[in-house]
Structure 1
């Protein structure tokens, strides 16, 4: 039975590869949202807008929403469509 010796360089290389794999997985998960329905605070953070601007977008019909009880939900897909529709190229 042959013995294989691990050096500190081997461990360091393994650590670097492992960290790179973890970073790829994290990046992959942050690009595709898991949640379909977002609450108001999440939409405000996503679009970097104020509560008043979000309310204006709701009232004027720019951004569709669903209200259940006192909580307002927004479809992530509709937000993406809105962004694509209003995309500007200079």
Structure 2
């Protein structure tokens, strides 16, 4: 049986490599927004501000108003695109 001596430098190098490996595995994927602003929704659906307003008024697309900004759930937009009601 052969004996190997491990130094503090070896442990530091191992720690660095281990942390890099863990970061690569756990690296957060591109964060997907849960709430979108009006401009983002219009761009996604390729619609005008008036059309988006009509979707709000007739209840086709739910929204939340905070201050002067309107926010839309990505889940509701996805359902709308799939043909179902949000």
Matched with 1:59 is 57
Report which of the two structures shows the higher radius of gyration computed on alpha carbons.
2
Aligned partners of 2:69, 2:44: CA distance in 1, in Å? 18
Q: CA offsets per residue over residues 43-78 of structure 1, 9 Å max, x none?
A: 000000000000000011000000011100000011
Matched positions, count: 56
Tell me how far apart the structure 2 counterparts of residues 50 and 82 of structure 1 sit (CA, whole Å).
16
CA distance in 2, matches of 1:55, 1:70: 14
Superposition RMSD on alpha carbons, in Å? Answer: 1.6
Q: TM-score, normalised by structure 1?
A: 0.58
- Structure 1 unpaired stretches of 5+: 1-27
